[in-house]
Structure 1
Amino acid sequence: MTSTDIVDIWAGQYDLPSWFTEALDVPREEEFIVVGGQKVHYFRWGKRGNPALLLTHGFLAHARCFAFIAPFLAEEYDIVAYDLAGMGESEIGAEFKSEQRGEDMVALADALDLFSGPVKPKIIAHSFGAGVALTAMELAGSRFGGLIICDLMIMRPEKLMAHFEKGSGSPGSGRSDRPSNIYPDYETARGRFILSPPQDAQSPFLLDYMAYHSMRRVDGGWTWKFDPKVFHRSENDQVKWMAAPQRIADLPHRLAMVYGENSTLFDADSVAHLRELGGTHIPMIAVPKAEHHLMLDQPLAFVTALRSVLALWDCSQT
């Protein structure tokens, strides 16, 4: 376990569970690769040549949200978790368009030779990252072995409009022209780190872990790692989120949904809505007691759900 994962600034506050420390002890690579002219930061676990998994995260998060999830899959798979453009340690271009993210996901899989094995790589993506993965599947779904969508915001049109009208932004909303704040010290910066949508931290040590790795030192103090350009939108957000349920139901490739039983963005009515649109073939698995942030709420139950889907798919490889 490296000091970049467990840091004195917070680790001494907790009696860390063995499953967490052992997960961070599992060997991994940390590298950068250039995709579309921009540096992409990623981690890699497991053995090259094993079936590949490509993992990505929600809005303003980073690949370390899988740092304590991927190790539980590393014995059987070759796993890559990467930072989306402009988040974590990955760069973002000056003229970056949000629809480019799906193209970049396919290009990253190509660049890291994830398509070279006899088994097609599978994608596991959370929230905003699942929207990126949905686009990647529409572009190159025949090259992938399936997509596990983890708590992507899915609502009926009237419910979604009510969500927007009460002032709740969509994943990825914000202002691209507002520079990131600089805080005088880590404690002040940490006090500004909150989950979106807001919820209590079921595992405070995991929240602190994510908070620390969401920030960086700069002249004058601490600031966020994400680039404000990630808030730029070249399409209408509401139209995109309205279309998402039908896009999922219509996708002619292998899919599964894993969501938090108590999530405010995907719930039992979301399941019913997708079924009504034609998604009766898609398994949809609720993680007990979890809200939107599955890996922070119920990490081991989340791993179990992922393992279950992957095991079923592995029994019927195409």
Structure 2
Amino acid sequence: MDIDGSTHVRGMRVVHHGRRGAPPLVLIHGSGAAGSSWGPVAPALARRHHVVRIDLPGHGQSPPAVSYDVPGQAAVVAAALDDLALGPVTAVGHSSGGYIATALAERRPDLVGALALISSGPSPDALLPQPALLRALIAPPLGPLLWRVRSDAMLRRGVTAVCRRPVSVPDDLVDDVRGIGYRTFRTVLRRNTEYIAERSVPARLGALGLPALVVFGTADPRWDPDAVRLYDTASSTLVERLDGVGHFPMLEAPEEAGELLLRFLAAADR
């Protein structure tokens, strides 16, 4: 039976696509985004999987949380998956969503059978100087002022600022991004940095030993694309590079990104 609908679980908006009973695939967005960022690749993935898109606390259509530390967010996701009776799942994370996916596997190894990380920086020293618009939106004293007057055009530019290929930003993503609070966003960024500063993502993947896919654009303006080589040291991890793609492969190269995910998922399901 096909499923296509949304609900709220543990306070988070959860959107389902695909066939009930198909292998479950959980898509976790990055900081300042929402589950709608997966829109361009979700239909292809849903042909073979039960796709679950989550709006993390304080993002999209999910209310704010008391804490935004990475393990705590992973715990909320785990509780939601338990309530939905889903597992083991393949957890796919974009950008800092990859940290949530990794922490989910660390916290609940029974719940995660495989991981896929897209544009997830390995450690703080791989972070590049950020695009000017993002710096202006994030940093005080200008940030809080600009945040309150963000137009649709500015929100779209905030997304395209980290892209290298021309993209069409989905309207629902613009709507979802508008609801993210300035303090929430700043706090989430700090907590993400704390997580990867405590231990790098490649080291965490190596300790987990799960089948893992890491996808990086060779023109990512947020993270040093050369730093993706650090993931080569993680056992059971496949690293794929997308030429000329920036930080948002799902928007910039949805067919290529979707095909990489489907090939990995087919191998992981064997």
Q: TM-score, normalised by structure 1?
A: 0.71
Residue 14 of structure 2 aligns to a residue whose secondary structure is strand
Deviation at 1:303, TM superposition (A): 0.6
Residue 30 of structure 1 corresponds to which residue in structure 2? 6
Residue 67 of structure 2 corresponds to which residue in structure 1? 96
For 2:228 and 2:255, the matched residues in 1 are separated by 23
Q: Which structure has the higher relative contact order (CA within 8 Å, separation 6+)?
A: 2
For 1:82 and 1:311, the matched residues in 2 are separated by 22
Q: Does 1:127 align with 2:99?
A: no
Residue 84 of structure 1 corresponds to which residue in structure 2? 56
Partners of 2:164 and 2:220 within 8 A in 1 = no
Deviation at 1:114, TM superposition (A): 0.7
Gaps of at least 5 residues in structure 2 are none
Residue 158 of structure 2 corresponds to which residue in structure 1? 195
Deviation at 1:178, TM superposition (A): 4.5
Call closer, same or farther: CA 1:150–1:234 in 2, change over 3 Å.
Answer: closer
Of the two, which has the highest radius of gyration? 1
Residue 244 of structure 2 corresponds to which residue in structure 1? 289
Call closer, same or farther: CA 1:192–1:279 in 2, change over 3 Å.
Answer: same
Gaps of at least 5 residues in structure 1 are 1-25, 216-223
The aligned amino acid for 1:154 is P
The aligned amino acid for 1:96 is S
Call closer, same or farther: CA 1:32–1:155 in 2, change over 3 Å.
Answer: closer
Deviation at 1:248, TM superposition (A): 2.8
Residue 205 of structure 2 corresponds to which residue in structure 1? 248
Partners of 1:63 and 1:82 within 8 A in 2 = yes
Residue 214 of structure 1 aligns to a residue whose secondary structure is helix
Deviation at 1:313, TM superposition (A): 0.9
Q: Which has the higher helix share?
A: 2
How many residues get paired?
Answer: 260
Deviation at 1:75, TM superposition (A): 2.3
Call closer, same or farther: CA 1:237–1:203 in 2, change over 3 Å.
Answer: closer
Q: Does 1:226 align with 2:180?
A: yes
Residue 145 of structure 1 aligns to a residue whose secondary structure is strand
The aligned amino acid for 2:252 is D
For 1:280 and 1:241, the matched residues in 2 are separated by 18
Q: Does 1:56 align with 2:56?
A: no
Residue 258 of structure 2 corresponds to which residue in structure 1? 303
Residue 79 of structure 2 aligns to a residue whose secondary structure is helix
Residue 59 of structure 2 aligns to a residue whose secondary structure is coil
Selected match of 2:111 from 143, 150, 157: 143
Call closer, same or farther: CA 1:236–1:312 in 2, change over 3 Å.
Answer: closer
Deviation at 1:86, TM superposition (A): 0.3
Deviation at 1:254, TM superposition (A): 2.2
The percent of aligned pairs where both chains have the same amino acid is: 18
Call closer, same or farther: CA 1:149–1:82 in 2, change over 3 Å.
Answer: same
The aligned amino acid for 2:116 is I
Q: CA RMSD in A?
A: 3.2
